[in-house]
């Protein structure tokens, strides 16, 4: 084994799903395909240092401080899937992992996609460094390894857009890893903005892990998976042809359906807040009045993602500043944009 210290770093973005992954089986396999935009400004930066003399096991620091919860998540991943890396798993207890997010940790933004994909990219770089291999990373393998850490993380390794889950419309699609969609997407979608309106920055009352589990035996599960399949096919066509009307219809109905599934789970739960619904109403009124193709989506939380092409940035930004930000906690929102190639 190498005796000198090795430092590797990686930066990986968050993503926002348009067709949602909600429900899984087996070893982190999705019950339906999902499609997402990869973001630019919301990312995690991680460094991993291999320290041969490190005592007392892996060290983990999040934004300079110890975080037992996240450390446990990494340790579980390494225990379960560490054998898939081309190094001796003993290495894991000699790693110092440091991670920070570009977005405020009080923003309520889910960070498992960016954080777990950044970690996996670091581990793959370490693997290469130990083998003195200077070839580029295999992103498909990175996506597969990231999926095992967190489903949505599989989509974060590619710019622009990604598809995770098998669908007959894309020949190399797979439940095991995501594939890039950048080359199958009309130019307008590469200009998309995602303005994240922070309605609440509190920790969610029900985690996504529990949410996925509640899809098992859910009375609407089978119907949901069929709808998501259908929406994936429709969305891929809309992305290819630049059909913004279809895009809006799919994005908004997927967001509403995700939260309907939560409301009809056993036990039922609700993550949206009154201001989430007020913002959605405002967006609908604004779209009707201006005919600007702006729409919303929701993650598994109360914050609203406002999606629109760059062409309308000035008018939509004025709408956010004069109306929407007043529904946000401390008037807080994050202006993000799709990550380019």
- Applying CB under 6 A, the residues found at the interface with ligand 2P0 are 17, 20-22, 28, 34, 112, 150-152, 208-209, 212, 258, 299-300
Angle between helices 139-149 and 68-81 in degrees, nearest 10: 120
Residue 154: CB minimum distance to ligand 2P0, A:
8
What is the rounded CA–CA span in Å between residue 325 and residue 328?
5
Looking at beta carbons only, is 22 or 333 nearer to ligand 2P0?
22
Looking at beta carbons only, is 207 or 290 nearer to ligand 2P0?
207
- 216-229 exposure pattern, b = at least 16 Cβ within 10 A, e = fewer: eebeebeebbebbb
- 3-state per-residue secondary structure call for 101-157: ECCCHHHCCCCHHHHHHHHHHHHHHHHHHHCCCCCCCCHHHHHHHHHHHCHHHHHCC
Alpha-carbon 134 to chain mean position: 28
Looking at beta carbons only, is 119 or 316 nearer to ligand 2P0?
119
Residue 110: CB minimum distance to ligand 2P0, A:
6
Residue 294: CB minimum distance to ligand 2P0, A:
20
Residue 57: CB minimum distance to ligand 2P0, A:
23
Looking at beta carbons only, is 152 or 275 nearer to ligand 2P0?
152
Other C-beta atoms within 10 Å of 314: how many? Answer: 9
- Long-range pairs for 333-336 at CB < 8 Å and ≥24 separation? 333/195, 333/196, 333/197, 333/198, 334/41, 334/42, 334/103, 334/107, 334/109, 334/195, 334/196, 334/198, 335/41, 335/193, 335/195, 336/39, 336/40, 336/41, 336/42, 336/193, 336/194, 336/195, 336/196
Decide if 219 contacts 156 (C-beta within 8 A): no
Looking at beta carbons only, is 94 or 305 nearer to ligand 2P0?
305
What is the rounded CA–CA span in Å between residue 155 and residue 174?
12
Residue 208: CB minimum distance to ligand 2P0, A:
3
Looking at beta carbons only, is 189 or 286 nearer to ligand 2P0?
189
Q: 50: burial class by Cβ within 10 Å (0-12, 13-18, 19+)?
A: buried
Looking at beta carbons only, is 49 or 156 nearer to ligand 2P0?
156
Looking at beta carbons only, is 12 or 150 nearer to ligand 2P0?
150
Residue 230: CB minimum distance to ligand 2P0, A:
16
Residue 152: CB minimum distance to ligand 2P0, A:
3
Residue 299: CB minimum distance to ligand 2P0, A:
5
Query: Quick one: which of 126, 130, 104, 100 has its CA closest to 115?
Result: 100
């Amino acid at each position: 084994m190498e005796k000198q210290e090795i430092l590797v770093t990686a930066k990986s973005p968050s993503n926002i799903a348009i067709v949602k992954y909600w429900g899984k089986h087996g070893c982190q396999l999705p019950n339906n395909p999902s499609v997402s935009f990869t973001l630019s400004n919301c990312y995690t930066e991680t460094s991993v240092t291999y320290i041969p003399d490190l005592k007392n096991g892996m060290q983990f620091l999040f934004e300079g401080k110890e975080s037992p919860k996240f450390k446990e998540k990494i340790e579980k991943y390494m225990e379960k899937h560490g054998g898939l890396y081309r190094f001796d798993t003993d290495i894991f207890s000699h790693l110092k992992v440091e991670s920070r997010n570009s977005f405020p940790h009080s923003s309520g933004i889910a960070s498992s996609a960016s954080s777990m994909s950044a970690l996996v990219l670091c581990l793959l770089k370490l693997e290469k460094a130990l083998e003195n291999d200077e070839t580029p990373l295999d992103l498909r393998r990175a996506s597969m390894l990231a999926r095992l850490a967190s489903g949505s993380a599989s989509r974060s390794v590619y710019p622009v857009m990604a598809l995770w889950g098998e669908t007959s419309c894309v020949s190399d699609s797979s439940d095991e890893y995501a594939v890039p969609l950048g080359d199958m997407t009309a130019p307008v979608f590469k200009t998309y903005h995602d303005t994240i309106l922070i309605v609440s920055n509190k920790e969610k009352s029900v985690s996504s892990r529990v949410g996925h589990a509640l899809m098992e035996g859910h009375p609407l599960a089978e119907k949901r998976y069929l709808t998501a399949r259908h929406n994936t096919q429709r969305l891929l066509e809309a992305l290819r042809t630049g059909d913004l009307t279809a895009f809006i219809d799919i994005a908004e109905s997927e967001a509403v359906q995700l939260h309907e599934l939560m409301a009809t789970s056993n036990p039922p739960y609700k993550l949206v807040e009154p201001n989430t619904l007020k913002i959605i109403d405002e967006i609908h009124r604004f779209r009707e009045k201006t005919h600007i193709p702006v729409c919303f989506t929701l993650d598994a939380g109360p914050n609203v993602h406002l999606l629109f092409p760059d062409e309308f940035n000035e008018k939509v930004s004025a709408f956010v500043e004069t109306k929407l930000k007043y529904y946000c906690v401390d008037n807080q929102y994050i202006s993000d944009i799709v990550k380019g190639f």
